[in-house]
Chain A
């Protein structure tokens, strides 16, 4: 009925007329998928397909490697379910978007406090793309074409980084680590440094969970190359802000801050830099300002760096980001607060040590591989192939650690175990019993 009225107002008989400019040669008759279903059918079918998944909701989970099974306070979920947030677009119209803008400014402020970077953007896709963007940003700043990264790194990050610097032909060079401690080999960094190095990347804690004691010395040996630091935001409640040891750019994975694991997405790419470098930074940035009456207000700022204005000369192509996850991070940090965040970090460390001691008691499992202090994860050498161990654990209702072969080939006989506040004593007992029975 309505459609007929609308067609009539346009002076046409059929909707087909509105498509008359599509040449017959590119026309199609149908889409080759099933016809529609009711809401009830859809909910049943999707639920059924997904029921084949083994969840960390029902099973002990010792997996980390950048994504962590953490407790998310119910209030965080309630806050980011507000449909005024969920169903809004990027806050182009500041006057009607103050809620999202302030929430994102608060997110930026929390990350600024944790990292010491005064300029923080309102999110990248994840830590891997943030690293890629950071390397490209180093090039924009000093026009140099080498970027140093640790040999011990998540392989997805390595691969993503290589793709992000393809356009600028940047060389990614890996520096070695101390096999005994898991800490970086400063001499190797010095060997690989030259005047063409744009930046040096280091992770604290690193991919193996190691809190590298030499972190504070790196800035002094890399000359005027930029220091890019990758962080775990939970650990920053106990660890120094990277600004204090000379970081120019800080990136990280923010999933731990109130977002679920979601099979790896959406994640939350943290990105901050020293205030002086902000014009070279990628991504959307929220700034504090005032309205026509002098009242406090927020808006997106420095948009002239962005693709919709600068097109091929933009600092990045990023447009859609992970804003809602950034709001979740702000809500999470607001709810746990300073004391809660420290409690979580400390409990993670304590549980990880309990887990390490328990694993060490299993015959053939070797946990004391690295001598350096660690945060909430550590590698353990297993007497059987870690990939095989994963499957056995899974069949016994346990989500084990991350097998390291793909990431650190020389540690192919190791599994990376992580502990969060979600891991209980009985989870550890269950793991030890099953592993004890296998090996």
Chain B
């Protein structure tokens, strides 16, 4: 397999076109108060086709699921079905103002109401709010709900327990809501250590945050016991839905005993991730927490949908009702899959993961026991010791073969971790190909691997340099005299030299 990513020298758009005079002409009859009138604006006027070429060329220097395999652990990068693109761009989605009278948005409200019902059925939760914009935002919302619940009981509970395998957002969200984070270690099986949990539990415990299966891909089979421990102490259980793709139709957070959870619609329900967002992170709760959900709720009365505000609600966690265009996509996906299809999604995701894992181990070491769910974590520690090839080197070398790298160095309890999540939408041929490449990299010349990638738009990127220079905008670049300007100038020269005959490949 050979791969070549496009390599264009694309000028910064701020440097293109008619630079003209950045000083603005003073208009006659201007109603802008003089003390606030702008006098200069350095934004180029460009031809539309120049702009389209610019971004089309940039897009070709970017790698999405539509380009190739994307086994990024914990991110569930499954194929994003195209019908969802069509539906989310209907004018009945895009051209609706959020403050319109209820009467004029019955379609939106019905779709959201039904999506809430479906998510409740999938998760075993009683009530859903679609408001949070992302997974971490859902976590934060969940933490605020838990806080409001305990405060309502007149209890001061300041601690949230998270396992050492938790996603970084878990402790960050808990801290943002004002909780102190208590981290507990995993046991020798890669699961939560029950005795550590018991030791950490106290009347100060507000909640335990857990993802199940955990980030090692291992199912926390003591979940019932854990729920009992937490509930007996008056705490609540929070489910991080990032790994929900592993268990749909097999179990659900509700039956496992969780009280609050979030979904990642951009993971489990196949909405595209847009290079970092938008996502959607709905929150689900058991009935006793429903009054605390963000406002407004969507209610159905005599065949009409309404936006209602509960006095106990925590209020808003963002403007309006959620990332509606993303919700439309997820709604369509759930409709398409149905109950039978969603179960197949999880079954196939787990089968693909175990199949791939089995091809890579024992060539790669895998800490903890074998049975995995939708993802697994292998270690390049031995390779590092024997051949000086690190998990980072492997991830960069994979790019040369047209494959996205796995998540690296997470979870941190595994040294030289490579976290791999193939998802259900990949064929056995793709999995085989990936496994072959992973195994062949082990045998490649270490220097070749350490200096990779070669076939990408740029060679290995110097992140330390970026953090030292901190050029975060063209405005800064213009004012900053130093290294980066030289690189920019070099880039400009290269641009001119190469414009005629550059082939775009290594």
Sample of 5 further A-B pairs with CB below 8 A, known A91-B276, A327-B55: A31-B121, A36-B335, A93-B404, A317-B175, A337-B46
- Residues of chain A within 8 A (CB-CB) of B81 are 39
Q: Does A169 contact B (CB under 8 A)?
A: yes
Partner of B134, one of A69, A73, A320: A320
A163-B314, A320-B273 known; A39 vs B83 contact (CB < 8 Å)? yes
A271-299 with Cβ < 8 A to chain B = 275, 278, 284-299
Would you mind naming 14 contact pairs between A and B with Cβ atoms under 8 Å apart? A28-B251, A31-B249, A43-B86, A50-B92, A87-B80, A96-B63, A99-B57, A114-B41, A126-B319, A266-B326, A296-B487, A307-B169, A324-B275, A390-B101
Q: Once the chains are docked, how many angstroms separate the CA of A213 from the CA of B178?
A: 38
Flag the segment in A172-180, A187-195, A256-264 that touches B: A256-264
Q: Are B462 and A291 in contact (CB under 8 A)?
A: yes
Q: Are A334 and B46 in contact (CB under 8 A)?
A: yes
Q: Once the chains are docked, how many angstroms separate the CA of A34 from the CA of B14?
A: 51
Q: Once the chains are docked, how many angstroms separate the CA of A82 from the CA of B319?
A: 28
Q: Does B490 contact A (CB under 8 A)?
A: yes
Q: Are A240 and B95 in contact (CB under 8 A)?
A: no
Q: Are A120 and B472 in contact (CB under 8 A)?
A: yes
Partner of A391, one of B101, B341, B456, B462: B101
Q: Does A316 contact B (CB under 8 A)?
A: yes
Q: Are B55 and A292 in contact (CB under 8 A)?
A: no
Q: Once the chains are docked, how many angstroms separate the CA of A286 from the CA of B318?
A: 24
Please count how many residues in chain B sit with their CB below 8 Å of the partner chain's CB atoms: 200
Partner of B168, one of A108, A308, A394: A308
Q: Are B121 and A96 in contact (CB under 8 A)?
A: no
Partner of A156, one of B176, B178, B319, B488: B319
Q: Are B43 and A159 in contact (CB under 8 A)?
A: no
Q: Once the chains are docked, how many angstroms separate the CA of A114 from the CA of B139?
A: 33
Q: From residue A229, how far is it (CB to closest CB) to chain B in Å?
A: 12
* Interface hub of A263, A285, A335 (most chain B Cβ within 10 A): A263
Q: Once the chains are docked, how many angstroms separate the CA of A241 from the CA of B490?
A: 31
Q: Are A66 and B358 in contact (CB under 8 A)?
A: no
Q: Once the chains are docked, how many angstroms separate the CA of A47 from the CA of B90?
A: 8
A90-B275, A112-B474 known; A83 vs B64 contact (CB < 8 Å)? yes
- Residues of chain B within 8 A (CB-CB) of A238 are 32, 37-38
Q: Are A318 and B472 in contact (CB under 8 A)?
A: no
* Interface hub of B22, B64, B95, B463 (most chain A Cβ within 10 A): B95
- Residues of chain A within 8 A (CB-CB) of B358 are 9-10
B181-237 with Cβ < 8 A to chain A = 181, 218-219, 221, 223-224
Partner of B487, one of A27, A294, A338: A294
Digit string of B68-98 for contact with A (CB within 8 Å is 1, else 0)?
0010100101001101011101111111111
- Residues of chain A within 8 A (CB-CB) of B33 are 211, 213, 373
- Residues of chain B within 8 A (CB-CB) of A19 are 247, 250, 350
Flag the segment in A54-62, A142-150, A361-369, A429-437 that touches B: A54-62
Q: Does B284 contact A (CB under 8 A)?
A: no
- Residues of chain B within 8 A (CB-CB) of A251 are none
Q: From residue B262, how far is it (CB to closest CB) to chain A in Å?
A: 11
- Residues of chain A within 8 A (CB-CB) of B488 are 288, 296
Q: Does B239 contact A (CB under 8 A)?
A: no
Q: Which residue of A lies closest to B94 (CB)?
A: A260
Q: Once the chains are docked, how many angstroms separate the CA of A50 from the CA of B43?
A: 39
Digit string of A15-45 for contact with B (CB within 8 Å is 1, else 0)?
1001111110111101111111111011101
Flag the segment in B5-13, B382-390, B438-446 that touches A: B5-13
- Residues of chain B within 8 A (CB-CB) of A88 are 62-65, 273-275
Q: From residue B370, how far is it (CB to closest CB) to chain A in Å?
A: 10
Q: Are A23 and B319 in contact (CB under 8 A)?
A: no
- Residues of chain B within 8 A (CB-CB) of A184 are none
- Residues of chain A within 8 A (CB-CB) of B24 are 342
Partner of A160, one of B110, B257, B272, B319: B319
Partner of B45, one of A108, A285, A324, A337: A337
Q: Once the chains are docked, how many angstroms separate the CA of A337 from the CA of B20?
A: 11
A109-138 with Cβ < 8 A to chain B = 109-114, 116, 118-120, 122-123, 125-129, 136
- Residues of chain B within 8 A (CB-CB) of A419 are none
Q: Are A26 and B256 in contact (CB under 8 A)?
A: yes
Q: Which residue of A lies closest to B104 (CB)?
A: A54
A15-B351, A56-B95 known; A95 vs B461 contact (CB < 8 Å)? yes
- Residues of chain A within 8 A (CB-CB) of B224 are 23, 25-26
- Residues of chain B within 8 A (CB-CB) of A387 are 101
- Residues of chain A within 8 A (CB-CB) of B98 are 67, 261, 263-265
Q: Once the chains are docked, how many angstroms separate the CA of A114 from the CA of B140?
A: 31
A113-B14, A260-B94, A266-B277 known; A319 vs B338 contact (CB < 8 Å)? no
- Residues of chain A within 8 A (CB-CB) of B178 are 166-169
Q: Are B44 and A15 in contact (CB under 8 A)?
A: no
- Residues of chain A within 8 A (CB-CB) of B61 are 98-99, 102
Q: Which residue of A lies closest to B257 (CB)?
A: A26
- Residues of chain B within 8 A (CB-CB) of A391 are 101, 103
- Residues of chain A within 8 A (CB-CB) of B175 are 167, 312-314, 317
B27-74 with Cβ < 8 A to chain A = 27, 31-33, 35-39, 41-46, 48, 51-52, 54-67, 70, 72
Q: Are A266 and B133 in contact (CB under 8 A)?
A: yes
Q: Does B107 contact A (CB under 8 A)?
A: yes
- Residues of chain A within 8 A (CB-CB) of B448 are none
- Residues of chain A within 8 A (CB-CB) of B38 are 236-241
Q: Are B472 and A94 in contact (CB under 8 A)?
A: no
- Residues of chain A within 8 A (CB-CB) of B323 are 262, 265-266
Q: Does B136 contact A (CB under 8 A)?
A: yes
Q: Are B221 and A23 in contact (CB under 8 A)?
A: yes
- Residues of chain B within 8 A (CB-CB) of A58 are 91
A83-B64, A112-B476, A216-B35 known; A125 vs B111 contact (CB < 8 Å)? no
Q: From residue A346, how far is it (CB to closest CB) to chain B in Å?
A: 8
Q: Once the chains are docked, how many angstroms separate the CA of A61 from the CA of B101?
A: 12
Q: Does A202 contact B (CB under 8 A)?
A: no
Q: From residue A282, how far is it (CB to closest CB) to chain B in Å?
A: 10
Q: Are A340 and B64 in contact (CB under 8 A)?
A: no
- Residues of chain A within 8 A (CB-CB) of B477 are 288
Q: Once the chains are docked, how many angstroms separate the CA of A274 from the CA of B484?
A: 19
Q: Once the chains are docked, how many angstroms separate the CA of A96 from the CA of B12?
A: 18
Q: Does B297 contact A (CB under 8 A)?
A: no
Q: Are A89 and B326 in contact (CB under 8 A)?
A: no
- Residues of chain A within 8 A (CB-CB) of B56 are 79, 82
Q: Does B497 contact A (CB under 8 A)?
A: no
A319-B135, A390-B101 known; A95 vs B318 contact (CB < 8 Å)? no
Q: Once the chains are docked, how many angstroms separate the CA of A252 from the CA of B100?
A: 22
Q: Are B331 and A46 in contact (CB under 8 A)?
A: yes
Q: Are A43 and B87 in contact (CB under 8 A)?
A: yes
